[in-house]
């Protein structure tokens, strides 16, 4: 066996080629026209003309302040000689947006390139919108975007200016080659299979220096490296259960009305992804979020209920929201499980078995007992990887509560619920996993949260290529219960962690927000007293609102 050799100059050429391929994945055909109807608060589709009217082009600013809203009316000429599946719209409104057909049908979301986001997790922009028949009217391009002047973290970026406004041709072979090479390079960089790495390097070295790329050349290169993409693992390897994810804080850096809109953008985009990729699985938790979508976006909710009956949509969690457990009382936690499980049973006919809280600031020692009483045997988190002093010692373990109750817990070994679905992160999770001697399975949640609309095409394209690629962990799209059932299948020797899961980060969060602490407790006492009065009122035929 010889050491992998990829000299610096040649590697730079291949890296440059990958950049070039992504730049050439779409060819702009023509610029579109845009008229905005701007308002301070969101307007319903049927009231979209009520905003202040302004005409816009690329570089123009449409918002005056963060969280301003606008309906953008996009029009243009339909290119001749192309089928819908050969075209896309390239759109960036300088904020977040939800695309609507002229008949009111919700399509998918867009997000801005300038949004804040952790660089190592990828780019947050979603600018590619698929072309459907209902985005035309009388042979002309004609559709709408419901926009908000904010990024993923509630900031106005670059004054909410229009950055992209085009219809473009898809260069499919060029795009496919870009993902092929991107994935193969991660094998070279992170795999332990030296023989396969050398085989990849040998093939890539034979690709000459390329400054221009076209359809035929892309086909030729893909044909040359095709056998590499089809190389499989010949033995059992570390396996990820992969689920698309769009983590959403329901009350954080933006108004609640924007939480609802972020949820709709995420769900619409993932419905579109499922339509495009039949093998893809997306999941979402929080009964409150589903309730908001049911109330405000019934056409989306109807599709979600249909998809939840298939293998593509994973209804997650057993609580009303992904709640804090440092501040609230045990009775409040019990109500979280009661109302969460009740909602999902009524709406989706599912008895939820997983306490799904990847992003809470620590977990009370009373939770395992409450989970056991609620018949919720599994717990999913990620947050304990954020410890700043002591490394949390487990990824798959039994969590034992104060009374000895135990639940099976799993902490994501990638240490994020925003995985970019890249080889470096896949190998990081495999190498991090502290229960490798007991289990060869872990969960991966990939995508962009908090308004990033979940996974983009790039996440799913890479996931497809990592399904079983030699030298890399296996990636299998499946629902969360399938993962936990495998984790729990006859295995009893997971380590035990007793007591509170104390997060060594974010200390003093509520001490600095003492009003939240004070009034939450007042509300809990008031609700308890009110409940005690209900039977007394009933006995004396006094009506109390419930």
Give how many domains the chain has, as a whole number: 4
CB count within 10 Å of CB 394 equals 18
- Residue 490 belongs to a domain: yes
- Across 437-453, average pLDDT: 97
On whether both 396 and 466 belong to a single domain, the answer is yes
From the number of C-beta atoms within 10 Å of its C-beta (0-12, 13-18, 19+), residue 203 rates as: middle
Q: How far is CA 260 from CA 140, 295, 428, in A?
A: 32, 10, 34
158 and 220 housed in the same domain:
no
490 — pLDDT class (breaks 50, 70, 90): confident
**Please, are residues 287 and 339 in contact by the beta-carbon 8 Å criterion?**
yes
* Global confidence as pTM: 0.96
**114 has a pLDDT exceeding 70:** yes
**CA–CA dist 283, 102 (Å, integer):** 29
CA 277 – CA 454 distance, rounded (Å): 15
Among 229, 251, 271, the domain-final residue is 229
Residues 445 and 337 reside in one and the same domain: yes
How far is Cα 390 from Cα 411, in angstroms, rounded to an integer?
A: 16
In a domain, 301, yes or no: yes
Tell me the mean pLDDT in the region 228-242: 96
Pairwise CA distance, residues 479 & 379, whole Å: 15
Residue 248 has a CB neighbour count (10 Å cut-off) of 23
**Among 162-171, 199-208, 225-234, which stretch is predicted with the lowest mean pLDDT?**
199-208
What pLDDT sits at residue 271? Answer: 99
- Is residue 507 situated within a structural domain? no
Query: Within this chain, do residues 478 and 522 fall inside the same structural domain, yes or no?
Result: no
- 1, pLDDT greater than 70: no
Residue 409 and residue 314 share a domain: yes
Backbone angles phi, psi at 109, to 5 degrees: -100, 160
Q: What does the DSSP assignment read for 65-106?
A: STT-EEEEEEEEEPPTT--GGGEEEEEE-SSEEEEEETTS-E
From CA 283, how far away is CA 526, in angstroms rounded? 36
Between CA 198 and CA 204 the distance in angstroms is: 10
Fill in the DSSP letter of residue 274. H
Query: Do residues 117 and 76 touch, judged by C-beta distance below 8 A?
Result: no
For the segment 68-85, the average pLDDT, to the nearest whole number, is 98
| Whether the predicted pLDDT of 421 surpasses 80 | yes
Least confident residue range of 3-17, 211-225, 484-498 = 3-17
One domain for residues 379 and 488:
yes
Q: What is the rounded distance in angstroms from the CA atom of residue 501 to the CA atom of residue 452? A: 29
| Residue 505 within any structural domain of the chain | no
* Same domain (yes/no): 145, 197: no
What confidence tier does 58 reach under pLDDT thresholds 50, 70, 90?
Answer: very high
| Residue 3 pLDDT grade (very low, low, confident, very high; cuts 50, 70, 90) | very low
Cite the active site residues. 359
Among 170, 199, 217, identify where a domain stops. 170
d(CA 203, CA 360): 47
Does residue 333 share a domain with residue 312? yes
CA separation for the pair 453, 525 (Å, rounded)? 38
Q: What is the DSSP letter of 317?
A: -
Pairing of strands 406-411, 378-381: parallel
Residues 408 and 338 in one domain: yes
Q: 260 and 165, same structural domain?
A: no
62-82 as b/e, with b when 16 or more CB fall inside 10 Å?
A: bbeebbbbbbbbbebebeeee
Q: For tokens 């419901």, name the residue.
A: 146
CA distance 475 to 483: 12
Query: Could you tell me if residue 278 is inside a domain?
Result: yes
> Residue 539 is part of which domain span?
512-546
Q: Residue 2 — pLDDT band, cuts 50, 70, 90?
A: very low
Length of the chain in terms of residues written: 546
Q: Who's near 391: CB < 8 A, 6+ residues apart?
A: none
339/429 same-domain check:
yes
Q: What is the side-by-side order of every strand in the sheet holding 496-498?
A: 354-356, 378-381, 406-411, 396-400, 496-498
Domain boundary among 128, 151, 170: 170
CB distance 379 to 410 below 8 Å = yes
- Give the whole-number percent of the chain exceeding pLDDT 70: 99
What pLDDT band is residue 235 in, cutting at 50, 70 and 90? confident
Kindly indicate the confidence band of residue 5, based on its pLDDT and cuts at 50, 70 and 90: low
- Rg of the chain (C-alpha set): 25
Q: Looking at the domain assignment, is residue 2 inside a domain? A: no
Per-residue pLDDT, averaged over 342-349, amounts to 99
How many other β-carbons are positioned within 10 Å of the β-carbon of residue 133? Answer: 7
Whether the Cβ atoms of residue 182 and residue 14 lie closer than 8 Å to each other: no
pLDDT classification of 430: cutoffs 50, 70, 90? very high
Q: For residue 16, is it within any domain?
A: yes
- Answer whether residue 199 shows pLDDT above 70: yes
Q: Is the per-residue pLDDT at 519 higher than 50?
A: yes
Residue 302 shares a structural domain with residue 427: yes
- CA-to-CA distance for 115 and 97, rounded, in angstroms? 13
Average pLDDT, whole number, for the chain? Answer: 96
Residue 352 sits in a domain of what CATH number?
A: 3.20.110.10
| CATH number for the domain harbouring residue 104 | 2.60.120
Cβ atoms of 29 and 167 closer than 8 Å: yes
Asked if residue 1 is part of any domain, the answer here is no
Across 254-282, average pLDDT: 98
**What's the pLDDT at 336?**
98
């Amino acid at each position: 066996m010889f050491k992998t050799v990829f000299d610096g100059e040649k590697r730079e050429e291949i890296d440059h080629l990958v950049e070039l391929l992504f730049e050439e994945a779409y060819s702009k055909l023509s610029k579109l026209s845009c008229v905005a109807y701007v308002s301070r608060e969101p307007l319903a589709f049927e009231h979209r003309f009520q905003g202040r009217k302004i005409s816009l082009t690329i570089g123009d600013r449409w918002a005056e302040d963060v969280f301003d809203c606008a309906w953008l009316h996009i029009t243009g000429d339909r290119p001749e000689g192309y089928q819908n599946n050969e075209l896309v719209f390239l759109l960036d409104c300088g904020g977040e947006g939800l695309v609507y057909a002229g008949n009111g049908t919700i399509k998918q979301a867009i997000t801005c390139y300038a949004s804040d986001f952790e660089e190592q997790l990828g780019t947050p922009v979603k600018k590619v919108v698929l072309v459907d028949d209902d985005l035309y009217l009388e042979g002309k391009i004609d559709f709408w975007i419901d926009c908000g002047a904010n990024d993923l973290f509630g900031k106005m970026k670059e004054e909410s200016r229009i950055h992209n406004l085009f219809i473009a041709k898809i260069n499919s072979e060029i795009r496919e080659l870009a993902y092929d090479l991107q994935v193969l390079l991660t094998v070279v960089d992170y795999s332990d299979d030296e023989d396969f790495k050398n085989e990849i390097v040998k093939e890539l070295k034979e690709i000459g220096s390329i400054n221009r790329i076209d359809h035929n050349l892309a086909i030729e290169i893909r044909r040359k490296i095709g056998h590499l993409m089809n190389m499989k693992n010949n033995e059992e390897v570390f396996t990820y259960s992969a689920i698309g994810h769009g983590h959403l804080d329901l009350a954080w850096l933006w108004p609640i009305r924007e939480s609802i809109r972020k949820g709709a953008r995420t769900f619409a985009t993932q419905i579109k992804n499922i339509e495009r990729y039949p093998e893809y699985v997306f999941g979402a938790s929080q009964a409150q979020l589903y309730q908001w979508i049911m109330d405000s976006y019934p056409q989306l909710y109807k599709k979600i209920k249909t998809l939840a009956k298939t293998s593509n949509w994973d209804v997650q969690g057993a609580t009303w929201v992904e709640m804090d457990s440092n501040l609230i009382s045990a009775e409040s936690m019990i109500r979280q499980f009661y109302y969460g499980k009740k909602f999902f049973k009524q709406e989706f006919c599912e008895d939820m078995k997983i306490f799904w809280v990847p992003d809470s600031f620590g977990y009370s020692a009373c939770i395992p007992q409450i989970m056991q009483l609620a018949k919720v045997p599994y717990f999913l988190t990620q947050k304990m990887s954020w410890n700043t002093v002591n490394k949390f010692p487990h990824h798959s373990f039994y969590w034992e509560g104060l009374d000895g109750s135990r639940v099976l817990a799993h902490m994501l070994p990638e240490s994020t619920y925003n995985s970019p679905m890249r080889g470096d992160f896949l190998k990081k999770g495999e190498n991090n996993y502290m229960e490798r001697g007991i289990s060869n399975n872990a969960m991966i949640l990939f995508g962009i949260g908090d308004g990033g609309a979940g996974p983009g095409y790039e996440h799913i394209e890479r996931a497809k290529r990592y399904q079983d690629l030699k030298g890399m962990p296996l990636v299998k799209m499946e629902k969360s219960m399938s993962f936990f059932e495998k984790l729990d299948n006859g295995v009893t020797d997971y380590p035990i962690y007793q007591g509170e899961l104390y997060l060594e980060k974010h200390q003093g969060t509520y001490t600095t927000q003492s009003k939240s602490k004070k009034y939450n407790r007042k509300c809990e006492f008031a609700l308890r007293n009110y409940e005690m009065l209900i039977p007394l009122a009933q006995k004396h035929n006094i009506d109390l609102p419930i």
